[in-house]
Structure 1
Amino acid sequence: MAVITTLILTRHGEAHCNVARIAGGDRACTGLTERGRQQVELLARRLRAEEPCDVLYTTSRRRTQESARILSDALDLPIHVERDLTGPHHGDADGRPWDEIKAAFGGPPQSDPDRPYTLGAETWNQYLTRASAALAAVIQRHHGQRILISGHGETTDAAALLLLSLAPGFCTRIGFETSHAALTRWHMHRNRLGQELWILAALNDTGHLTGAP
């Protein structure tokens, strides 16, 4: 089968909000830690050694944009910001500890995906609908190319909803682990009958981080 389009999803490196275990929305995200920058540099080194990517997208959050700048410099790709790929909007929970948010809500946002977990927050399913639609538009725009996205852990969930045609409530039963600076790779193949299908080639691949601090 011939590979037609490749979608490479990468998570940002470790960020200050991750270390502090707070919801890092547009207000509370203060960017990457030094360790996080080193993680993304190792990711960039790996991608540079592989087949060149054609286009680089990122989100509006500081930690993904800092990650994208490292990738852009290493791969000589301009950065395109797709705001609808940004992680969930946290509303009043922006900057609050995740333990506090989950205790008040009765679990993580995915556990009750149609209910806002705080005032002004998106529901989990609202986020998935928004982000998966943005991914679909990017894929259609760059059909036949190698697409690199510097995104969030949640981007992996949105891609799974879209490419596996999962029901919106899947998040109450399954999840996808996504480490900092991890790589998830999807290939669109075309078989001998001309049929196109997506194949998950790698999930949460962190082989490039061996020896990272």
Structure 2
Amino acid sequence: MKTTRFCLVRHGETHWNAARRMQGHTDIDLNDRGKIQAQQMAQALKAIDLKFDALYTSDLIRAAKTAHAIEHLFGVNAIADAALRERHLGSLQGLTIEDAQRLKPDLWQIHMERDLEHELLGGESIKQFANRIHGALEKIRYLHEGQTILLVSHGGALDMMYRLASKQPLEAEKAVSVPNASLNWISHNGSSWKVEQWADTNHLNNLALDNLDL
């Protein structure tokens, strides 16, 4: 059977990440540290002489600009796909963790309890989000069977990919971190997914922030 490998990259840091503000679909740019992280990530891939067959990215600017560091260094063009966006967090988008607990305590509690059906007042439910991410990943796998794919996305989206590859239930608490500009490897051998390596940040000069958007 042909093995398809994915190197999953979380976007670099943004001002909202640093402020612990939930982004979701809000189109927030990288901050200066995030731009440096993107460059360090791309340089790390170049240093190991990674051979990949396609580069995909979420169309949100924080992911697209992270992917641009790879485009620039490797001389390739990224394929932007809105299906790789972060979860839409509805009425929680734009709020800091502290403000969400204070201003929308009931909605925050629903969010923390991982209610699989609740859409957070205008957003996506966990089930809807999982179906979108899994569908996007399977579509790419089908198009590139037996190849190596670089994919730049978001913390919550990569958490969903981890859950798929590790068979972690959607209702379970988060099991892994997804730091900014981290490298994460999963693969499919033709019959099943597996996690190969996760949350590699050895290429970064400073500690990277974990994801808030779940």
Partner of 1:205: 200
Q: Deviations over 1:165-212 (max 9, x none)?
A: 44332xx344220111001012334xxxxx744332210001111468
Cα distance change on mapping 1:99 and 1:118 into 2, 3 Å: farther
What is the TM-score when the length of structure 1 is the normalising length?
0.84
1:113–1:125 Cα contact (<8 Å) kept: no
1:132–1:161 Cα contact (<8 Å) kept: no
Deviation at 1:145, TM superposition (A): 1.0
Partner of 1:134: 136
SS in 1 for 2:24: coil
Among all aligned residue pairs of Structure 1 and Structure 2, give the percentage whose two residues are the same amino acid.
25
1:54–1:77 Cα contact (<8 Å) kept: no
Deviation at 1:54, TM superposition (A): 1.1
Structure 2 residues not aligned, in runs of 5+: 209-214
Residue 12, structure 1, aligned to residue 11, structure 2: yes
2:166–2:195 Cα contact (<8 Å) kept: no
Query: How far apart, CA to CA, are the structure 2 residues paired with 1:106 and 1:91?
Result: 11
SS in 2 for 1:8: strand
Query: How far apart, CA to CA, are the structure 1 residues paired with 2:94 and 2:174?
Result: 27
Query: How far apart, CA to CA, are the structure 2 residues paired with 1:108 and 1:42?
Result: 37
Q: Describe how 1:32-181 pairs up with structure 2 within 5 A.
A: 32-50=30-48, 51-102=50-101, 104=105, 105-107=107-109, 109=111, 111-116=113-118, 118-169=120-171, 172-181=172-181
Q: Deviations over 1:61-88 (max 9, x none)?
A: 1111111111111122211111111001
Query: How far apart, CA to CA, are the structure 2 residues paired with 1:112 and 1:102?
Result: 15
Query: How far apart, CA to CA, are the structure 2 residues paired with 1:134 and 1:155?
Result: 11
Query: How far apart, CA to CA, are the structure 2 residues paired with 1:176 and 1:212?
Result: 16
Query: How far apart, CA to CA, are the structure 2 residues paired with 1:113 and 1:145?
Result: 36
**What is the number of residues matched between the two proteins?**
204
Cα distance change on mapping 1:141 and 1:32 into 2, 3 Å: same
Partner of 2:188: 188
Cα distance change on mapping 1:203 and 1:95 into 2, 3 Å: same
Cα distance change on mapping 1:71 and 1:107 into 2, 3 Å: farther
Query: How far apart, CA to CA, are the structure 1 residues paired with 2:42 and 2:110?
Result: 31
Q: CA RMSD in A?
A: 2.4
Cα distance change on mapping 1:79 and 1:110 into 2, 3 Å: farther
Cα distance change on mapping 1:143 and 1:34 into 2, 3 Å: same
SS in 2 for 1:84: helix
2:87–2:157 Cα contact (<8 Å) kept: no
SS in 2 for 1:208: coil
Structure 1 residues not aligned, in runs of 5+: 190-194
1:25–1:61 Cα contact (<8 Å) kept: no
Deviation at 1:8, TM superposition (A): 0.6
2:185–2:195 Cα contact (<8 Å) kept: yes
